[in-house]
Homo-oligomer: A and B are copies of this chain.
Amino acid sequence: MNLLKELESYHIILASQSPRRQELLKEMDLDFEVRPMHVEEVHPAGLTPAEVVEYLSRLKLSTVDFSDFQENVLFIASDTIVVLEQEILEKPHDEEEAFRMLRKLSNRQHTVLSGVTVRTASHELTSHAESRVTFRELSEEEIRYYVAQYPPFDKAGAYGVQDWIGVVGIERIDGSFYNVMGLPTRLLWEMLRKMVLLEKK
């Protein structure tokens, strides 16, 4: 199956305002429209981190009324979190919170999880990817410089892997790099293939 060719007959909508996700979807050579969904990102208590990101990626499409759409519309939503020893690090609200988060991440390994949901009028698929990221020891000066130069308020865990602090400070990544950037592209590719097969049935 030539997946790129099959996907030409779909109208793809990315439900995200993240410029990183848009960039990555473009690098997958897909044509798409961007339509961020505004939902309050709350999840039930007691979920594992993997269940949280899967839940939130589904939630982002929960307000879409698929009866409004043509058969060939396909939505993609994703949610990414940073987990450090059971604690979920969200987006920081201010410089001090960003500073504290990066201090916690310094000289340790943490986990980045992304949930992805692909949905059409008739089918829904959800999955997640998990990567381990190890920062070297970051100096206070380096963290202050980064937070001041590249305010990370739209980023879970207060850093972008493609930003200065990621480039000079990450020791190693084990798993998908693009997952850490915000969209597990290789997983999404596989989900799109499954979806096209489901739709053909």
Query: Which residues of A line the B interface, CB within 8 A?
Result: 2, 4, 24, 27-29, 131, 136, 141, 145, 149, 161-164, 167-178, 185-186, 189
Contacts and interface: CB of A to CB of B under 8 A. Distances in A.
A28 B165 CA distance: 8
B170 A186 contact: yes
A175 B172 contact: yes
Contact of A185 (B24, B29, B167, B172): B167
Nearest to A129: B172
A174 B163 CA distance: 19
Given A27-B167, A172-B174, 6 more contacts: A4-B145, A167-B178, A167-B186, A168-B185, A174-B174, A174-B175
B178 A175 contact: no
A102 to B, nearest CB: 15
Contacts of A145: 4
A194 to B, nearest CB: 14
Contacts of A28: 164, 167-168
15 contacts: A27-B163, A27-B167, A28-B164, A29-B149, A131-B172, A136-B186, A167-B185, A167-B186, A168-B186, A171-B186, A172-B175, A173-B176, A174-B174, A174-B175, A177-B177
A29 B164 contact: yes
